[in-house]
Amino acid sequence: MFNSRHGQFLCGVGGKAISVVAVAAMTLSACSVVGPASIDHGRTSYNEVIEDTSRQQALLNVVRVSKGESPLFIDVTEVDAATSAGGTLGSGVTGLGSIANLKSTAGTIAGPVESVTGSVSYQEAPTVRYFPLSGNALIAQVSTPIRPDSLVNLYNSDWPLAAILDLSVNRVTSGYEDYDAAIDAMIDLDAYGALILAATSDDSLTLYPAKRSVTERPAKCDGKQAEDAARIVDVLWRRLAYYIDGSSGAISSITIRSKASGGSNGRNKPPFLQTRSALGVMKVAADPTQRPSIAFLPPEDVRRIIDDYNARLVFCRQLFYTLAPTVYHPSVFGHGGEPTELTETERQVAGVISQPDRSLVTMNTEKAVLNPQELRAESDLVNARKFMLIAVSDTPPVSTFASVTHGGKWYYIFDDDEVSKRTLALIVQINTIQAIPTQSAPLTPTISVGAR
């Protein structure tokens, strides 16, 4: 006979209810998987939302800098997600001492009646710690120049060399006008597989040639034949040696120093390698008064540029867009954006940009030393190079990779814009590299998920 019993349990604390042993066993066994299930559900969710908000923050800061405003960084330094599950289970008997009414014809039963009651609860209480960067932490992250070894690590992690150099490097040559020719030579050598980068202990950047078995396909993208690849590589290396070292002899390596060094005449050689800080990366990339590598355009222009890029030969594409100066407003190309008559070299560059089978890395592969007009053409080609397209709209966008609203307008990156997505990720990576450890004590996580 079933006697009256009442029980209550939490995960790991069992109650006695003889008539519902099977139900209790199933419920208690469920408690043993709450912990693993909470990780399976929560870890990916937290990871995704932190990643999404990180790129939104980066995009918002790019927009702010483009308007002359100060960026603000708020890092999610810690997430402590406490998860708990529990339940109650009870049973009872009413009508004790009653006997069945066997003579009744009303279809009722008089006698003891058993009952079972229960409930299950699940609770997740996350504690998220935000760390707004200010004071020394902000200065360290946004004002400290990027170290050469960080540049090499980015390059060895398969980030595109063109974006690394354009965003992060301020100077590599003694002559200001020589910078673009040297940078274009480095990017093209990388396309041929003929460049090796290494950082030295004295914070210098060393370039090593890899001339054997170079890739021949880029020669076609440079407007030449496949058999011209080795000759083009040799020309580009001699160009680097001339504009960086001032030499014209055999090349075993080229070192670009970030610190002054002693010369053979006893005088110090100035540092030619100058890198930017995390803030400098965003400022130069987005500031229309300088030479921006990010373009803010109406959505229809962004769509057209992406489609034109996709129409180019696949193996000739680099991870950047090149906008013809004959098509877009001068503000897209920087230097104040004042409308002026196009120069001869700008028209020459526009003609090359219109060719779908060109890589648009360098204008000239014939000579190691360029004349002033050829240097100007290299500079105009770099001016036309954009690593991110940000659509600007008065209405909320649909299907975007990242979007923010600022000053009453929407700024966003198209979901199929692989070039801009890669560049935004690189900016986030640079901010992460330049970050310093938080000075606040970490939380002591306590996660109660019950006993097994």
Ranges 23-37, 255-269, 273-287, 298-312, most confident:
298-312
* 339/331 Cα distance (integer angstroms): 8
pLDDT at 63: 94
- In terms of domains, do 128 and 140 share one? no
Average pLDDT over residues 10-27: 46
pLDDT tens-digit series, residues 151-172: 999 999 999 999 999 999 999 9
- In terms of domains, do 278 and 375 share one? yes
Mean pLDDT for all residues in the chain: 80
Percent of the chain's residues with pLDDT above 90? 42
42-51, 59-68, 78-87, 242-251: range with lowest mean pLDDT: 78-87
Provide the pLDDT confidence category of residue 351 given band limits of 50, 70 and 90.
Answer: very high
- In terms of domains, do 170 and 298 share one? yes
pLDDT at 235: 94
pLDDT tens-digit series, residues 269-289: 666 889 998 888 998 899 888
**Is the per-residue pLDDT at 1 higher than 80?**
no
Find the DSSP H helices in 222-354.
229-240, 278-286, 299-310, 344-353
- Phi and psi for 155 in degrees, rounded to 5? -60, -45
**Is the per-residue pLDDT at 265 higher than 60?**
no
**Is the per-residue pLDDT at 26 higher than 80?**
no
- Phi and psi for 369 in degrees, rounded to 5? -105, 125
- Phi and psi for 286 in degrees, rounded to 5? -115, -15
Q: Does residue 448 lie in a domain region?
A: no
Beta bridge partners of 84: 123
111-125, 287-301, 396-410: range with lowest mean pLDDT: 111-125
What domain range includes position 420? Answer: 135-434
Q: Does residue 9 lie in a domain region?
A: no
- In terms of domains, do 59 and 173 share one? no
- In terms of domains, do 48 and 189 share one? no
- In terms of domains, do 128 and 139 share one? no
**Is the per-residue pLDDT at 224 higher than 50?**
yes
- In terms of domains, do 381 and 270 share one? yes
Provide the pLDDT confidence category of residue 202 given band limits of 50, 70 and 90.
Answer: confident
Strands 294-297 and 388-393: parallel
* Helix, coil or strand: residue 79: strand
Q: At a CB cut-off of 8 Å and minimum separation 6, what does 42 contact? A: 81, 83, 124
Q: Does residue 195 lie in a domain region?
A: yes
Q: Does residue 256 lie in a domain region?
A: yes
Find the DSSP H helices in 371-413.
372-383
Q: How far is CA 166 from CA 86, 285, 291, 298, 382, in A?
A: 56, 8, 10, 24, 9
DSSP at 244: I
The half-sphere exposure of 320 on its side-chain side, counting CA atoms within 13 A, is 30
Provide the pLDDT confidence category of residue 89 given band limits of 50, 70 and 90.
Answer: low
pLDDT at 151: 94
Q: Using an 8 Å Cβ cutoff, are 58 and 424 in contact? A: yes
- Phi and psi for 194 in degrees, rounded to 5? -115, 20
- In terms of domains, do 52 and 143 share one? no
Q: Does residue 60 lie in a domain region?
A: yes
Residues in the chain: 452
**Is the per-residue pLDDT at 110 higher than 60?**
no
Q: Does residue 122 lie in a domain region?
A: yes
**Domains in the chain, number:** 2
* 332/382 Cα distance (integer angstroms): 13
Q: How far is CA 197 from CA 92, 207, 300, in A?
A: 78, 5, 39
Q: Does residue 3 lie in a domain region?
A: no
pLDDT at 47: 83
- Residue 311's identity, in one-letter code, is A
- In terms of domains, do 150 and 192 share one? yes
* 149/443 Cα distance (integer angstroms): 32
Count of beta carbons in the 10 Å neighbourhood of residue 426: 22
Give 3-state DSSP helix, strand, coil % of the chain, rounded to 5. 40, 20, 40
- In terms of domains, do 113 and 175 share one? no
Q: Does residue 446 lie in a domain region?
A: no
Q: Over the range 170-182, which residues count as b (16 or more CB within 10 Å of their CB) and which as e?
A: ebbbeeeebbbbb
**Is the per-residue pLDDT at 118 higher than 90?**
no
pLDDT at 109: 54
- In terms of domains, do 306 and 374 share one? yes
- In terms of domains, do 71 and 212 share one? no
Provide the pLDDT confidence category of residue 9 given band limits of 50, 70 and 90.
Answer: very low
